[in-house]
Structure formats: structure tokens, C-alpha cells
Amino acid sequence: MRTTLDIATWARKAHFEFFRQFEEPFFGVCIPVDCTRAYTRSRSAGASFFLYYLHRSLAAANTIVPFRYRIHEDNVFIYDAVHASPTINRPDGTFGFAYMDYHADFTAFSAAAQQEIDRVQNSTGLIPAVSGENVIHYSSLPWLDFTSISHARSFSFKDCSPKISFGKMKEENGKKIMPVSIHVHHALMDGYHVGQFADLFQQLMHE
């Protein structure tokens, strides 16, 4: 379900009209996330760490409202929920696109997500997921401790979905730190909102 944002009364109306005209309207940041408690908790529960932090990031994104905004023609819609469209790595070195519904309950999310992972890993080809626009595009690069990242884009395709990438976790002063890249459409949100997401994601990883 979705509702229409009243752009005429939106405090960011001028920002929306300004940045939506850009050839490259996305901006991105890369932040370090402390995964120490989350990693220990997921391992103790016998859960996938990947699905654990993916679920926490979705919980944060669904809480920070601008992450649920999407542009369609001249309108901005607010979706009731956004879901995950992650890349899933295969043993042969390729990957496929997947689609995972967000469930507030981690157990329910994990069970359905693992079925989707199994499906993609036991298939071939890119398998574009028909998942709609109310998704966040996720990728995981567990081989790289990156400090910045860029994304392949087709400028003829009017994409406005956030893109979040997770990197290689490393030990640092007794903590497990993972780089996380967040790219968002500047017509829909600013650094302030990305900061809200980053703070909430870290809080949820600590809980």
C-alpha cells in the first residue's frame, strides 16, 4: 500500500524540484558499523549473520520515513513498507538478484529469506527479481574493506531506490567493524535523514 505525498506543502519541495533534474541525483556515504554484539548474538542463536544485519537495516529503513519515498512520474509516494532486493553470491563466483519481504519478526523474515537464497543459489543466470519500486537494492562485498563505493547505473532508467552495500568485517581494537555504504536519491532525502538511518541501524545492531 502507498499514499501520495503532498509536494505543495512539503518542506523539501524546493529541494525535490532542484535535485530531481540532475543526471546523477544520488549521493552516498560510507560508514563504519560496530557489529560486535550483533555477530555474537546471531552466532549464538545459530542464525545467518548476513540475514541478521540485513533485517536490522530493513528495520531502520522502514522506520526512517524518507527511505520509503519513491518518485513515480511527477508524484512522490510513501510506501507502507519497503523490502529487500539483494544480490546473492553463488559458489561459482556469479550472483543473482533476489527479493525478500520485510517482516518485523526476525524468525519469520529469516525463514522466508533463506528459501529465497536457496532458490537463487540453485539457479543460473542473473534472474532479475520482479519486485517493484518499494525495495532497497542491497549488495554484499565480504572480500573488500572499502572506504567508498560507486554503482553501475543506467541513466535512462529513472531509479530512485536506496542502495546499501556491506563490506568485509574486520577486527579493530577488540571490536568487529564492517563498512556500510548508503546511496540515496537527493530529491527524496538529505544527509540528515541518512544520519538518522545510520544512528538507528547502529542502535539496532547493538540491541
Cell of 149: 563505493
Residue 73, sorted as left (phi over 0), alpha (psi -120 to 50) or beta, turns out to be left
DSSP strand pairing (170-172 vs 26-34): unpaired
Task: State CA 116 to chain mean position distance.
Answer: 17
pLDDT of amino acid 155:
82
pLDDT tens profile 3-56: 999 999 999 999 999 999 999 999 999 999 999 999 999 999 999 999 999 999
| Contacts of 49-55 spanning 24+ positions with Cβ under 8 A | 50/140, 50/166, 51/109, 51/110, 51/113, 51/114, 52/106, 52/110, 53/166, 53/178, 53/205, 54/84, 54/86, 54/100, 54/113, 54/138, 55/102, 55/106, 55/109, 55/110, 55/113
Range scoring the smallest mean pLDDT among 131-135, 167-171, 175-179, 194-198: 131-135
pLDDT of residue 132: 73
> What are the tens digits of pLDDT across the range 111-161?
999 999 999 999 988 876 667 789 999 999 999 999 999 999 888 888 999
Assess whether pLDDT exceeds 80 at residue 79.
Answer: yes
Q: Rounded mean pLDDT of 165-189?
A: 97
C-alpha cell, 83: 523490502
